[in-house]
């Protein structure tokens, strides 16, 4: 996998996590308080101005209540 494809998948994962967050009516403040990730960092991640680490994605997925493996699989499928 090349860097470009990996970046597209990562961005799609963030988009899917954001969709789930909104569907479940979870605020960025709630995620921030639960994970210790600043609201600014979350906003930068969602606006594609910052690439999240795997650790960050894991914490956000847990806070939103989704399985990150499933989200990654969906992201990969949508990119291919």
Domain ranges of the chain: 3-75
pLDDT tens for the chain, residues 1 to 80:
899 999 999 999 999 999 999 999 999 999 999 999 999 999 999 999 999 999 999 999 999 999 999 999 999 999 88
Statement: 3-75 belongs to CATH 1.10.260.40 = yes
- Which residue from 55, 54, 70 is spatially nearest to 20, judged by alpha carbons? 70
For tokens 């606006």, what's the residue? 47
pLDDT at 1: 87
Could you tell me the pTM of the whole model? 0.92
The Cα 71–Cα 79 span in angstroms is 12
3-state secondary structure of 17: helix
pLDDT at 28: 96
């Amino acid at each position: 996998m090349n860097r470009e494809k990996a970046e597209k998948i990562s961005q799609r994962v963030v988009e899917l996590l954001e969709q789930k967050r909104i569907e479940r009516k979870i605020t960025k403040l709630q995620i921030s308080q639960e994970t210790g990730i600043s609201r600014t960092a979350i906003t930068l991640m969602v606006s594609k101005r910052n690439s999240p680490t795997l650790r960050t994605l894991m914490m956000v997925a847990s806070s939103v209540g989704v399985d990150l493996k499933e989200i990654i699989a969906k992201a990969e499928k949508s990119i291919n």
